[in-house]
Amino acid sequence: MKKPGISIFYFLIGIMSIILQNHSSFYPGFIAKALIIPVLMILFLVNINLLTSRLHKFMVAGLFFSWAGDVVLEFSKNNGNIFILGLACFLLAHIMYLTLFFITPGKNSILSNRIWLLIPVLTYGVVLVSYLYYDLAEMRLPVIMYAIVILTMLAGAINRKEKVKKNSYYLVLTGAILFVISDSAIAINKFSHQFESSGIVIMLTYIVAQYLIVEGYICQFSNLTPDQITR
């Protein structure tokens, strides 16, 4: 059963984190941001029985590493090593998501009759990396590796086309696209040039992205019997 109150609380916490991100004191914004993913985890856990499918554990792992990334990156503003650690956390989150998307039972259509859908994904990746390339310096390899992983995650979301219900497919796909936009905004703002309202763009797309991925995944298993979701 969906819990609309949790969804409302999730977005309230997210909005609060955006408002407080430039607060003179570090801790109010940090606490609000650190609560975003735990609230989403609660939403997930009240709608999904972890014991029914190994797939669910990948979603929980993805959310956990996202939370770790949120926390770590708050301490990375003047420390490149901590930023790398935060990047690694989100890299693991995307690996969990892409693994989940690709191992979902069903036809891997993107590897057969829908491979053409990879063209816009690859084009976007090439354009983004080319745009950032000369500004990345020693971060060139980590950022390129991260771009490959997150675009693979997006490809995995596209690959769910013939595996899940229509509403689940489009919710997760929209979330994956917004996640790519959020991470792209982080890269541009950090390595190329800072732009006005970057914090709002980054956090708003991130908050909505994570919610849509989780909501879409929950929809994937709604109205199924226990034997249908045991994988």
Q: Where are the domains of the chain?
A: 4-229
Collapsed DSSP state (helix, strand, coil) of residue 223: coil
pLDDT tens for the chain, 231 residues long, are 456 789 999 999 999 999 998 776 778 888 999 999 999 999 999 998 876 788 899 999 999 999 999 999 888 776 768 888 999 999 999 999 999 999 998 888 776 777 888 899 999 999 999 999 989 888 899 999 999 999 999 999 999 988 999 999 999 999 999 999 999 999 999 888 888 888 899 999 999 999 999 999 999 887 644 344 434
Question: How many CA atoms, within 13 angstroms, populate the side-chain half-sphere of residue 218?
Answer: 19
Confirm if 69 and 94 have CB atoms less than 8 A apart.
no
CB 130 within 8 A of CB 75: no
**What's residue 89's pLDDT?**
95
Would you state the pLDDT for residue 196?
A: 80
Select from 182, 194, 80, 75 the least CA-distant residue to 138: 80
Neighbouring CB atoms inside 10 A of 168's CB total 20
Residue 6 · residue 42 · CB < 8 Å: yes
| pLDDT value of position 17 | 93
- For residue 230, the model assigns a pLDDT of 39
55-84: b or e for each residue (b if 16 or more CB lie within 10 Å)? bbebbebbbbbbbbbbebbbebeeeeeebe
Closest CA to 180 of 117, 128, 108, 103: 128
